[in-house]
Structure 1
Amino acid sequence: MNRLTLWVAVALAGNASLTVNATEITVMISGGFSAALDKLAPQYEAATGDTVRIIHGPSMGNSREAIPRRLAEGQAADAVIMVGYALDKLQQAGKIAPESRTELADSRIGMVVREGAEKPDISTVEALKATLLHARSIAYSDSASGRYVQTKLFSQLGIADSVQQKAKMIEKIPVASVVAKGDFAVGFQQVSELLPVNGAEFVGRIPESVQYVTRFAGAAVAGSAHQADARRLLSYLASPQVQATIRETGLDTLTATAETAR
């Protein structure tokens, strides 16, 4: 038994009953933490005997895939993992089990270009501004990071009017996918959502002075028959033993920051 398996077994009061009482845990999750869960779910399943069923959807918005709409329409889930302030709204609406919120990770915004393209300089605010002014086209997401790019970043850089006609919000699909196809020259989204896309090359994070940090958190869903199992899964995802894997996906361990969206 390796260290990870041992930790899970102890944390979950492990013994033979773990596999006898195996549960399917349904998790609704938005994009930023998805890569981390994709890596960690198989390890959790192997250690516990439980099955993690993953349903993807945005943290906000009115699309049929959006997590708040899914829950409002009565779709069943045991846990949700999403942008922190969107989770706050679910809690206010009574959709979240009391005292089940678990803080998981922070996510920063990065930029990609098409694989093989020259990587422009975005290491400073002035370099980022120049890159955006010279870019043929700009794509950004329809999530919290994209809304920040659209409503604040362009204005902070003083280029809102200059890029208005060549910048576009990309809905439902990864921003890096349209950059990979050559539809856009540069693309902005949370780093953890950029890295998994083939055909796009990660340039780097935008400078910290104009950065926007999105908090991801999870919670058990009110009314779920598997709330205890959901809480244990979330505890595992927040445990010290899995943080290295989470960082590999482009997320950050939790730190205080003035720009964290919670």
Structure 2
Amino acid sequence: MNANLKHVCVKAFLAVAFCACTAKVQAADIKVMSDSPLEPALTKVVDLYRQQSHNKVGLVFDPSPAVKKRIEDGESADVVIVQPDFAEALTKSGKVSAGDRPIIGHVGVGLGNRKDSPAYDISTVEKFKSTLLGADLLVFNSVKSGEAFAGVLERLGIAGTLKSKIVRTTPLGIFEPVLKGKGNDMAAGTIPLIATTPGIKLLGPLPAQFQSSLTYTAVLMAKTSQRDAAEGFIKFLVSREAKAAFAANGAS
């Protein structure tokens, strides 16, 4: 190999090595803890973010109260996505930064049943009430969306009538009793979870006057070791592309 060719090969090798090292340095690995109802939509949004940034994102899902407790107990992350009141509590305890808290999405409440059960129309108050009264089992959670649904039953004047048919569970436990049931069993919960749970079909959102959307905000952990990447991820969550993906997966 002559000297010139050897020189060119060395330069090419160094250029490739430099690019590889640069890419390695630039790629970040961030951990995101999020409220469970956002899982179907946030997973799609994160796929888009990974494609564009080449950063790695580890997702951990739990209901907002559980996310708050895990962080207060010492679990670390880079970005936290929870309901605003939980974000406020974590800010006061110094666990998350006190900066901007952009609203990244809203999740509504709906009603679902087994795929082999009738497809009831719940688009009006009268049809919604009639469907609930015809249920053999009505399952909903014991946290914020479940409390809101319990309030709907009170407003409809049927809470007492349905009392013996109601089962309260954890947010992710609302589907098991329905899937195992053999009667006219229904689950009330967040729309993305109902729509993406195997064996369950979404009958529809609650009528507008009874709808109670959950709002989600993204905050930066105070002690994140990936501040730049974490801030960039939060900015991506409010981008036009991310909002379209959220909306397409039940989180407007």
TM-score, normalized by length of structure 2? Answer: 0.85
Counterpart residue type for residue 205 of structure 1 = P
In the superposition, relative to structure 1, how do residues 48 and 104 fare at CA in structure 2: closer, same or farther (>3 Å)? same
8 A Cα contact 2:143 2:171, kept in partner: no
For 2:22 and 2:153, the matched residues in 1 are separated by 55
1:50 match: 55
Q: CA deviation digits over 1:36-57, x for unaligned, max 9?
A: 2211222222322211011111
The 5-angstrom pairing of residues 246-261 of structure 1 reads: 246-252=246-252
1:186 match: 186
For 2:72 and 2:96, the matched residues in 1 are separated by 12
Counterpart residue type for residue 109 of structure 2 = I
Q: How much does 1:19 deviate?
A: 4.9
Find the residue that maps to 1:165 and give its secondary structure. Answer: helix
Number of positions where the alignment pairs a residue of Structure 1 with one of Structure 2: 231
Which of 34, 38, 42 is 2:43 aligned to? 38
For 2:23 and 2:140, the matched residues in 1 are separated by 43
Find the residue that maps to 1:32 and give its secondary structure. Answer: helix
Q: Does 1:166 align with 2:165?
A: yes
The 5-angstrom pairing of residues 54-93 of structure 1 reads: 54-60=59-65, 66-93=66-93
Q: CA deviation digits over 1:195-232, x for unaligned, max 9?
A: 11110111000101111011111111111112222121
Report sequence identity in percent: 24
8 A Cα contact 1:19 1:49, kept in partner: no
In the superposition, relative to structure 1, how do residues 216 and 18 fare at CA in structure 2: closer, same or farther (>3 Å)? farther
Q: How much does 1:68 deviate?
A: 1.1
The 5-angstrom pairing of residues 1-262 of structure 1 reads: 19-60=24-65, 66-150=66-150, 152-182=151-181, 185-252=185-252
Ranges in structure 1 where 5+ consecutive residues have no aligned partner: 1-15, 61-65, 253-262
- Alpha carbon RMSD of aligned pairs, Å? 1.8
8 A Cα contact 1:174 1:194, kept in partner: no
Q: How much does 1:124 deviate?
A: 1.2
Larger-Rg structure: 2
Find the residue that maps to 1:186 and give its secondary structure. Answer: strand
In the superposition, relative to structure 1, how do residues 22 and 211 fare at CA in structure 2: closer, same or farther (>3 Å)? same
Q: Structure 1 stretches (4+) deviating beyond 3 angstroms?
A: 16-19
Find the residue that maps to 1:94 and give its secondary structure. Answer: coil
Q: How much does 1:168 deviate?
A: 1.4
**By percentage of residues, which structure has more helix?**
2
8 A Cα contact 1:25 1:52, kept in partner: yes
TM-score, normalized by length of structure 1? Answer: 0.82
Counterpart residue type for residue 182 of structure 1 = G
For 2:217 and 2:97, the matched residues in 1 are separated by 14
